[in-house]
Amino acid sequence: MENLLYLKFKYSEKEYAEAVKWYYSKSLNIKFDMVLSIILVSLGSIFWIMGSKSMLNKILVVLGCFLLLMMLFVLYVNPKRIFRQESKFQDEYKLSFNDQGILFETEHINSNILWSHYSQVKENKEFFYLIYGKYMFTIIPKRTFLNKEDETLFRKLVEEKLDKK
């Protein structure tokens, strides 16, 4: 079981929050929810301005504001809160990649994770996301690769192992 690649890193709160925010913004219906909340607030406000004394306009505004606040919480508040509360995100990560899987080591974790645990990989310019469930993923910062060759090796290894599914 020869290690093909070794990475060592520690997340910063800002880095972790940005990674989670990007993933959720791509995975959730953020654009739809944003448009819906604006429509609800607008309709409720228009009804109110037109002199409607109906409870409907108040309900529309409250629902629209609530939806908007929920999105802001999920994208901006919750990732930082989770990072601060979960000490495992503040550990130093040591990952060894081989043909069978990933040897995952931190102060709180010592595990050999098989490639079959992961269902897909996503990537942006800053991170790789190894996805293993709905809204469940391992974040690998690209800054941790020593060079472009290691990043390319990782990309090929992950694509090969996850394409077999």
CA distance 117 to 114: 6
Residue 46 has pLDDT above 90, yes or no: no
What pLDDT is attached to residue 81?
96
The whole-model pTM stands at 0.84
What pLDDT is attached to residue 164?
56
pLDDT tens-digit readout, 109-157: 899 999 999 999 999 999 999 999 988 999 999 999 999 999 999 999 9
Q: pLDDT category, 1, cuts 50, 70, 90?
A: low
Average of per-residue pLDDT across 13-27:
94
CA distance 165 to 160: 9
**Segments in 50-102 forming alpha helices (H):** 55-72, 78-85
DSSP 144: G
CA distance 44 to 55: 9
**Segments in 11-73 forming alpha helices (H):** 13-27, 30-49, 55-72
DSSP bridge pairs for 102: 97, 113
CA distance 137 to 95: 15
**Top-ranked range on mean pLDDT: pick from 30-34, 45-49, 99-103:** 99-103
Query: Reading across the β-sheet that carries 101-105, which strands appear in turn?
Result: 5-10, 92-97, 101-105, 110-114
What pLDDT is attached to residue 68?
92
Q: Check if CATH label 1.10.1370.30 holds for domain 5-11+87-163.
A: no
Residues of the chain above pLDDT 90, percent:
75
Residue 13 has pLDDT above 60, yes or no: yes
Residue 86 has pLDDT above 90, yes or no: yes
